[in-house]
Structure 1
Amino acid sequence: RLKMVTVSSDRVDFTHPIPGGTLVELIGNVVRVGTTSLQVRVELYVEQMYSDERLLAVTGSFTFVAVDEQRRPTPLRPAAVATEPASH
């Protein structure tokens, strides 16, 4: 595991309100891997507890940089980079 810090949020779009009491699903996919950084595209879906309707409410793009103990950029190790997009 590597420590990562957020260096930018390139864009966050709110396209649908998220009322209290709703369920949300957050999905993040690694879309670009550099020498020390990676870019993650995030989608947040909202749905009512007893409904099948699922709406895309928020999208965003974030860049993270791997850092060492001195908080300097450090190269990503091949084992630290997933081969498939992660979904949580």
Structure 2
Amino acid sequence: MPADANPYGDIFGGWLMSQMDMAAGLVAARHAKGRAVTIAVDAMQFHRPVVVGDEVSVYARLVRVGRTSMTIEVESWCRDRHGEQLCKVTEARFVFVAIDEARRPRAISAG
């Protein structure tokens, strides 16, 4: 939407990063079977701008699980509103930690 863009019509990188964080958070919470929080974003790359009106899709996959942490690779792709060609616009690795009710790290169950 225009409120999420700069004066040139490009979507703010922070808005796109927040969408990626939400997608990664869903994967992390599902795997951890509970609350998980972002502790790091690594290797964030912006390949091309997203413009107002583009359709954006975000894909996330779990690539590593530690005792309390998970690494999730995330890609964002866009398509022009009236076109069919997809283009990768961003990619990054998000690290999440599973936390308990007291917001302390907790072990992720193996099952």
**TM-score bin (small chain):** 0.7 to 0.9
Q: Confirm or deny that 1:39 pairs with 2:75.
A: no
Take 2:70 and 2:64, find their aligned partners in 1: how far apart are those partners? Answer: 6
Q: Which structure is richer in relative contact order (CA contacts within 8 A, separation 6 or more)?
A: 1
- Which residue does 1:57 correspond to in 2? 89
More helix by share: 2
Take 1:76 and 1:23, find their aligned partners in 2: how far apart are those partners? Answer: 35
For residues 24-81 of structure 1, give each alpha carbon's deviation from its aligned partner in whole angstroms, at most 9, with x where no partner exists: 11000101011111000000001012211100000011000000111111011234xx
State, as a whole percentage, how many aligned pairs show the same letter: 30
Q: Which residue, out of 4, 8, 12, partners 2:44?
A: 12
Take 1:48 and 1:10, find their aligned partners in 2: how far apart are those partners? Answer: 28
Aligned length: 79
Letter in 2 for 1:2: G
More strand by share: 1
Give the 4+ runs in structure 1 shifted more than 4 A: none
Q: Confirm or deny that 1:74 pairs with 2:106.
A: yes
Take 2:59 and 2:109, find their aligned partners in 1: how far apart are those partners? Answer: 23
SS of equivalent to 1:76: coil
Contiguous gaps of at least 5 residues in structure 2: 1-32
